[in-house]
Amino acid sequence: MADEESEMGRGRKFVLSWFVILVGFLNLTPALAADCFSLSPQAASGKVFEPVKARKLTSSEQRQIDTLFRKMAQQWEGETQGYFCMGTESSPRKRPDNYQVTAKVERDSSGNIRLEADLFSPPKKTRRRENLRLFSSHDILRIDVNSSSGDVGLVSLDNQHLEFIQTFRVTHRQPIKRDDDEEKEGEVSILPVDDEVSILPEIDDDAEEDEQEKIRFKTFSTAREIVRKITISGAYLTIDYKVYTQGVLSSASTWRMKKAR
């Protein structure tokens, strides 16, 4: 009997352990559960990159966005957990990008909102600021600017959550050698949004004219898709975003915040 009870006890512990693991897995946010270099929504559907098609919000959708924006207009504090995708598709690795965050969301007289966030990384001892503006006052959901260049594609919406896709192209200029130079042009790397650096050469005013004439440029663009999901539940606000570059995931982040006291 004792052996039987002991066996049952071990069985219960085994089941409980797997239950804890399963709960932890299910609680993973979409951004942090995503795999580096996984396909973007457009690439997964077999489409070539194209701008999103914005549409006019229905009266019901407009009310839901107004409700969501009104709930967001608070002071918030919490943390962000994210990463940049490094390496290659066959051998990916994630570089962590985590911060403590305090944010203020204000709603203007037209119902649009502006989020201003201060992010601090204790390990790196670095600080940065981020802004997010969302518009719906023209009956179209937009980001950053209240014009067609800010149009986004609405994915899903209710009184507690909003998900949308923003697509755009980033143009780059890269210095290259003359055609008769022995050095060949290298492949263009995929740069995460927050890791982009200027690739324009530094021009020395004292440089000889014949040296400057050797510099030529090639222009290229990278396609970007950013999927954002905003969820507000009681005193908690979560913002998930995934950034896709050239059709694959290049970075992701989740902001978990609570109303500040």
pLDDT at residue number 185: 41
- The CA distance from 15 to 21, in Å, is 10
**CA dist 207 → 177, 200, 210, 213 (Å):** 17, 16, 8, 10
pLDDT value at residue 47: 80
Q: Residues in the chain with pLDDT < 70? A: 1-34, 177-215
SS3 68: helix
Task: Specify the pLDDT at position 261.
Answer: 81
Taking a C-beta distance cutoff of 8 angstroms, is the pair 222, 235 a contact?
Answer: no
Q: How high is the pLDDT of residue 188? A: 36
Number of other CB atoms surrounding residue 12 within 10 Å: 10
Give the pLDDT confidence of 166-220 residue by residue, as tens digits.
999 888 877 775 555 444 443 333 444 444 333 333 434 444 445 555 567 778 8
What confidence score (pLDDT) does residue 23 get?
A: 36
Rounded to whole angstroms, the Cα distance separating 220 from 112 reads 34
pTM: 0.72
C-alpha span between 94 and 18 (Å, rounded): 26
